[in-house]
Amino acid sequence: MTVDLSAADVVTKLEVVLPASVIESSGNMIVVNDKFLFLVASFLKTAPGLDFNYLNYITAVDYQIYIEVIYNFVSLEHNHGLIVKTRLTDRDKPELPSLVSLWKGADLQEREIYDLYGISFTGHPNLKRIFLWEGFQGYPLRKDYKQ
C-alpha cells in the first residue's frame, strides 16, 4: 500500500520550477492549470525524491460547469502516491496534452476518456474510439448527452 505524499511539499517544489501551475491543493491532491499539465507530469516523473514512475489511472468527471480529469500517480521506488486534477471549461472543444509519451499506460485510458467524454488528447499516437463505433453521435458520460 502506498503512502500519500503531502500536496504542500509537492506544490513547494513545483512553484520553484513552474510558477502559477498549481491552482489549489489539499491533502494528497493538487489541481493544476491545464496549460501546465504536461510540464507538471514530466516534472513529477523525473524530479529526484518524487520519481512518479507509474500512472495508476486516469478518469474524468463532468460537473456541468467544467470537466475534471483526474490522474493517480505512484512512485514504486518511494512508495508514495499523488492525485493530480485539471479542469476543462471549454465544453465545445475540450483538449489536454497526451501523457502517452511519459507513461505508455495512458494510451487506452486517454482513448476511453476521448470516447466517453469527448476530450481530445493532443499528441496521442492513436486517438480513436475504443468502445463506441465511429460515427456515434455524442459522448454518453457527459451531463449534456441526449439519448
**146 has a pLDDT exceeding 90:** no
Q: Is the pTM of this model over 0.85?
A: yes
DSSP type of residue 91: S
- For 14-65, what is each residue's pLDDT tens digit? 999 999 999 999 999 999 999 999 999 999 999 999 999 999 999 999 999 9
Question: DSSP strand E in the chain: where?
Answer: 3-4, 22-26, 29-32, 54-62, 67-75, 80-88, 95-97, 120-122
Give the mean pLDDT of 79-84.
96
The full set of domain ranges for the chain reads 3-92
CATH fold label, 3-92? Beta Polymerase; domain 2 (3.30.460)
Half-sphere exposure of 68 (CA within 13 A, CB side): 12
pLDDT of residue 4: 82
